[in-house]
């Protein structure tokens, strides 16, 4: 990926950040991985309730691919019609606090944190205080960086939408992917009996995550009537609602988490909306999850990680300049677990500990 200098530096942002520049992955339009390039841009300014982070690692999730391509097209109503409103992609982040806004009370310069940033494929990023938590000491920055998007989605799908209970029989499709790898571990931590659906090549990974049973989707059908499940998490799949219902217990719940292959305009959203419309007329419950970015969920996950009940499963770690290759690897379906991106900031010295609430602007 060629390094170029961006001509779109914000004067106000540069002034607040001390006119400092940083390396970042940027995109000027929608398209395949080739639209991404490495550029020099201004270090972002922070609002009163925000934190400036020195990025040590970022995580890659399927949503990043959708924002890169601008598909489904419905997404562009939120992200930007002709090009993304935020040219720097990346949401998952783990790093060190550099500066905090005057309204921030939970963090100070030098703290190691993880959570949801605003453009984390960069040496520095900005995050709201309410979307961060302290990094678990037992994991690396790369491991922490691949937690937020996928693990929070899995947690909310299980506990919020799915209302999982101990001893529930839980089926998880896409069990070897980003959200699925956390859903398997979390469901086990909550006392459920877990069946994971994946390819034969990834079966051993899913077993190692704690699944009680593993089904090869190419060799069998989870909806053949042999087993019924109290809760199904259908992660980024496309089975019809009737097929999901055949695998559900009479009063079971199916949670649709994302969806692929639903067309360029709406993606899997149409299936989710049909599920919500049908559910009131059934004894079975059909629902969906739209994950919210909350520090309380990150704190919960940090505790589960520290206790050893959840371990981030990393497939590969790419340097910042190879983000396009990382996205191609993800889009091809080769990833087992999560993909991390290590930034150049990982080589910079950590801020000295102390009571200061701000560090000298990065040079």
Superfamily of domain 149-288: Medium-chain alcohol dehydrogenases, catalytic domain (3.90.180.10)
The pLDDT-based confidence of 172 (bands split at 50, 70, 90) is very high
Instruction: Identify the sign of the CA torsion 162, 165, 166, 170.
Output: negative
- Structure confidence by residue, pLDDT tens digits, 174-186: 999 999 999 999 9
pLDDT higher than 60, residue 221: yes
- Strand 124-128 to strand 92-100: parallel, antiparallel, or no bridges (unpaired)? unpaired
Question: Residue 71 CA to chain centroid, in angstroms?
Answer: 17
The pLDDT-based confidence of 19 (bands split at 50, 70, 90) is low
Q: What is the pLDDT of residue 355?
A: 37
Cβ 154 vs Cβ 304: under 8 Å:
no
- Structure confidence by residue, pLDDT tens digits, 63-85: 898 889 888 777 788 878 888 98
Give SS3 for 112: strand
Q: What is the pLDDT of residue 52?
A: 97
Pick 265 or 79 by higher pLDDT. 79
Pick 362 or 332 by higher pLDDT. 332
pLDDT higher than 60, residue 4: no
Radius of gyration of the chain (CA): 21
176, two tokens: 């070897």
Q: What is the pLDDT of residue 356?
A: 36
Chosen CATH of 3-147+312-347 out of 3.40.640.10, 3.90.180.10, 1.10.760.10, 2.60.420.10: 3.90.180.10
Terminal C-alpha separation, the chain: 23
Cβ 150 vs Cβ 293: under 8 Å:
no
90, two tokens: 């990346």
Beta strands, E only, the chain: 3-5, 21-27, 36-42, 50-60, 92-100, 112-116, 124-128, 132-134, 169-173, 193-198, 213-216, 229-235, 248-257, 285-288, 314-319, 338-342
Q: What is the pLDDT of residue 333?
A: 86
Start-end of H helices in 89-140: none
Pick 229 or 61 by higher pLDDT. 229
Rounded Cα distance between 313 and 305, Å, is 12
pLDDT higher than 70, residue 361: no
Burial pattern 264-300, b for ≥16 Cβ within 10 A else e, equals: eebbbbebbeebeeebeeeebbbbbbebebbbebbeb
Q: What is the pLDDT of residue 260?
A: 59
pLDDT higher than 80, residue 358: no
The pLDDT-based confidence of 8 (bands split at 50, 70, 90) is very low
Residue 48's alpha-carbon distances to 18, 99, 120, 126, 240, in angstroms, are 17, 11, 20, 11, 46
Question: Which of these, 235, 234, 261, lies nearest to 72 by C-alpha position?
Answer: 261
Q: What is the pTM of this model?
A: 0.87
Rounded Cα distance between 192 and 185, Å, is 10
Rounded Cα distance between 279 and 144, Å, is 36
pLDDT higher than 50, residue 363: no
Burial pattern 92-116, b for ≥16 Cβ within 10 A else e, equals: bbbbbbbbbbeebeebbbbbbbbbb
Q: What is the pLDDT of residue 344?
A: 59
Rounded Cα distance between 317 and 64, Å, is 16
Rounded Cα distance between 44 and 16, Å, is 8
Looking up tokens 């950590």 gives: 350
pLDDT higher than 70, residue 167: yes
Q: What is the pLDDT of residue 268?
A: 67
Q: What is the pLDDT of residue 259?
A: 65
- Structure confidence by residue, pLDDT tens digits, 93-150: 999 999 999 999 999 999 999 999 999 999 999 999 999 999 999 999 999 999 999 9
Q: How many residues does the chain have?
A: 363
Q: What is the pLDDT of residue 345?
A: 46
The pLDDT-based confidence of 261 (bands split at 50, 70, 90) is low
Rounded Cα distance between 153 and 289, Å, is 8
Q: What are phi and psi of 181, to 5 degrees?
A: -65, -30
Which residues of the chain form CATH 3.90.180.10? 3-147+312-347, 149-288
Q: What are phi and psi of 242, to 5 degrees?
A: -65, -35
Instruction: Identify the sign of the CA torsion 174, 79, 24, 98.
Output: negative
């Amino acid at each position: 990926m060629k390094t170029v200098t961006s001509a779109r530096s914000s004067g106000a942002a540069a002034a607040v950040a001390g006119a400092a520049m940083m390396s970042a992955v940027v995109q000027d339009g929608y398209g395949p991985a080739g639209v991404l390039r490495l550029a020099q841009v201004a270090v972002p300014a922070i609002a009163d309730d925000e934190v400036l982070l020195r990025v040590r690692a970022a995580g890659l999730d399927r949503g990043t691919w959708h924002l890169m391509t601008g598909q489904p097209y419905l997404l562009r109503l939120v992200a930007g019609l002709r090009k993304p409103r935020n040219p720097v992609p990346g949401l998952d982040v783990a790093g060190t606090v550099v500066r905090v806004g005057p309204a921030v009370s939970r963090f100070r310069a030098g703290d190691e944190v993880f959570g949801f940033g605003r453009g984390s494929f960069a040496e520095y990023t900005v995050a709201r205080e309410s979307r961060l938590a302290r990094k678990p000491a037992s994991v690396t920055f790369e491991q922490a960086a691949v937690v937020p998007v996928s693990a929070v989605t899995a947690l909310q799908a299980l506990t919020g939408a799915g209302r999982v209970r101990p001893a529930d029989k839980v089926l998880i499709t896409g069990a070897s992917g980003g959200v699925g790898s956390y859903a398997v571990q979390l469901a086990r931590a909550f006392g459920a009996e877990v069946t994971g659906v994946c390819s034969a090549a990834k079966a051993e990974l899913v077993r190692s995550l704690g699944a009680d049973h593993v089904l090869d989707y190419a060799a069998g059908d989870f909806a053949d009537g042999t087993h019924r499940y109290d809760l199904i998490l259908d992660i980024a799949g496309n089975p019809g609602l009737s097929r999901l219902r055949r695998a559900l217990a009479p009063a079971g719940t199916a949670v649709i988490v994302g969806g692929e292959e639903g067309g360029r305009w709406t993606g899997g959203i149409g299936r989710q909306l049909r599920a919500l419309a049908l559910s009131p007329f059934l004894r079975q419950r059909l629902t969906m999850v739209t994950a919210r970015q909350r520090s309380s969920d990150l704190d919960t996950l940090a505790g589960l990680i520290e206790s050893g009940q959840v371990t981030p499963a990393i497939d590969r770690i790419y340097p910042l300049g190879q983000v396009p290759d990382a996205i191609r690897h993800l889009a091809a379906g080769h990833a087992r677990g999560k993909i991390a991106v290590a930034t150049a900031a990982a080589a910079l010295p950590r801020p000295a500990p102390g009571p200061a609430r701000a560090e000298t602007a990065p040079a």
